[in-house]
Structure 1
Amino acid sequence: MHYRRFGKTNLLLSVFSLGTMRCLSSELEARKTIQHAIALGINHLETARGYGKSEQYLGNIIKTQLDVPREQLYITTKVPPTPDADLMRQWLDESLERLQLDYLDCLAIHGINTWEHLAWVESETGCMQVLTEAVAQGRVRHLGFSTHAPLEIILATLNTDLFEFVNLHYYYFFQRHAAAIELAHNKNMGIFIISPSDKGGRLYTPPPKLEQLCHPFSPLELNYRFLLADRRITTLSVGPANPDELTVPLKVANQDEPLTAMEIEALLRLETQAKNALETDHCHQCYACLPCPENIHIPEVLRLRNLAVAYDMTDFSQYRYQMFENAGHWFAGVKGNHCTDCGDCLPRCPHELDIPALLSDTHQRLNGPPRRRLWE
């Protein structure tokens, strides 16, 4: 296991962090998973108020069932944004009580996803007042935020200079947030990548075409290496449901050198495949088509189509597409079938895509039963 400095917090974190969102089946299974992760060198454990009994399980395990001192572990929990200072104070108290801790190494505001959330944070009488007091009291040592927001909101939140670290989405198959990675790095912030195996493409169950394109590497390994080779990034989330699910990710826990020639060649094959398979229907993710009058997240809809057509990543694309209209601000926007063919987006697309036709095609390919976020 390799370790990296978590930005201005100066914490030395393992390059993989244990996310406990899926450690929900039982406290026994959670204990086995956490103990195994620590034995393999993971020193950063992350949970959240919203993750079912995760805080409670983790608190019991830290208190009585670990072979390492508390001081050798870094514990992060997350609480939602709120304009109510008293409510934030209550939530912080409850999290510390469930975790059975006197202090948190890191606390993140969980999901600054909208401009309204950011306004709550910036308010002089809102939740940040409570969290600043908690830092002064030693109950919280470092403050950060997690986000599923559009890039513009992420950049604005980073520019408040209120936080020491950020949890965000960024993967080989989703590089929209590259500017946020760069800004956070320039501000000396810790950078924590959310769910690179699942949200990064469900790469633990890749389609045969994607496996062939990535050979001799697995798609999961190649995505991990894409991220670990970037020295601006501190740590990647791994969220196992049981100890066995740690085996594959941690095979690359000591491989954080620059990309090799063979790895670069595999990534170039992926680029070539997308270009050849999508031809003139290739959405280049410039976001010039937004805003959409019907609130369709056109670039994300078409990104999912790109993945399904180019790499046969239909399972992943359906999984994400079916979350539109079912996950609120965590996955904003509506499905492609809401397109009214108004043509508003057409003159703004630099590649002259027939966006209404592509939205309709995507809906036919990917629509299915509604999906919700895991903890719901």
Structure 2
Amino acid sequence: MAFDAEIRAALIEQVRRFVTEKCVPIEAQVADDDAVPQSVVDEMKQLGLFGIAVPEEYGGLALDMETECLVAFELGHTSPAFRSVAGTNIGIGSQALVLFGTEEQKSKWLPGIASGDLIASFALTEPEAGSDAASLTTKAIRDGDHYVLNGTKRYITNANKADLFTVMARTDLSKPGAKGVSAFVVERNTPGVSVGQPEKKMGQQGAHICDVIFENARVPVANRIAGEGEGFKVAMSVLDKGRLHISAVATGVSERLIKEMVNYALERKQFGKPIMDHQLIQAMIADSQAETYAARCMILDAARRRDAGEDVTMLASCTKLFATEACGRVADRAVQVFGGAGYVTDYGIERFYRDVRIFRLYEGTSQIQQIIIARELARAAKAGNL
């Protein structure tokens, strides 16, 4: 649905206040504790942040893509770990159900996902299958009214808190690549499902990734999403939307870092004047602002096109590539503008520098985005639509 401008503005202001008043003051605490306080999670539930992409009939806010991106910009103004708490419910954990689930599946799980009482994760990546997602080896073999799942998923966000997993598994061993893959909802308490310990990561402390292991886990046929062999279509549809969302979060972080750079450069003095008066500092800040503005415009254009029903596969990859790479450059410049202070934990800039590195990896690496963009251009040219 297209959101009423007044309601949209009120929602954005609510999220902005939440980020400014509740998240920003405890960024260092979350990093030190490697956990987001439950009180903050509860407030996110009250704001409806877990259900922003879930239809209203299941208790969600049903935001259109443009409004979701505007919310994501605001969530990006603090440590990405906060957004990650609800991130899988907003995106890859819930959207397979939203886009392809049966009415029975939606009624069973979406209300809990929307309220935040159920945490949903997306289990695609494996030890030997990441960017080449079609090479996954987790198997789901039909046995009467069930499928028997065996395999290991790796780097699964929020797996240690998840109640549900959207799992991609190979149901037809005779079909190589994407054709033999199907999608399933697997409940955490299913016998044979276990979750490993959270990995120690470069950044985003407070957001957790773990292995998920399936050992003869019996999953009802009724839990399959879409038809057998349609799992890759489900996964790619989910990722299109997720790439726009992550682009917006990354751009929000860039905006936060620009604010930090400008304020510091106005206060810090060298050679008898604020470093903001030195042209080489101005250049780094100006380049950051220009790139961030370009990223914001790209994201909103692609989001509006998706809301209008257009195929935005190529545009989503363009935004993901540009916005996340730009965020990396902005974070690097922020360390440079802060100088030695940018390398010291107390200022928080080095934490952001580490936190944003993952943006160029998950939801498809920058190199995968380049491949998708080139592929879509080639297809358009062959169809005479370029």
- Both proteins in one fold, TM over 0.5: no
TM-score (norm 2): 0.28
- Which structure carries more helix by proportion? 2
